[in-house]
Homo-oligomer: A and B are copies of this chain.
Amino acid sequence: MIAQTPEPPYYAVIFTSLRTLDTEGYTEMAELMVELASQQTGFLGFESARDHVGITVSYWSDLASIQAWKTHAKHQIAQKLGQEKWYSDYKVRIARVEKSY
């Protein structure tokens, strides 16, 4: 789905990743993280697609909410497993959405 976000300004976290061949536990964790993220203060929406590369964009009202989610205990476990098991490479970009149409 295309996320229904408010008028800018707000923030986007663009997470781009390449997967390893290790899929064990990945889908369950990804679904859990979407569910958990959507309960956090400041969460505005979420878009995700994968073919050769995976792109997940989450939208947030402010930088403090992004920081709080980054340091959330369960999310930190997921990040650690992602780095060790599921992703061969990834990049996170934090961006301020200035315009949308």
Binding site for B on A (CB under 8 A): 1-3, 5, 8, 11-12, 14, 16-18, 47-55, 57, 89-101
Contacts and interface: CB of A to CB of B under 8 A. Distances in A.
Copy number in the complex reads 2
A89 B11 CA distance: 22
Query: From DSSP, what is the main secondary structure of chain A's interface residues?
Result: strand
Contacts of A50: 49, 51
Given A14-B12, A47-B16, A1 B53 contact: yes
A101 B53 CA distance: 17
A101 B94 CA distance: 9
A87 to B, nearest CB: 10
A59 B89 CA distance: 19
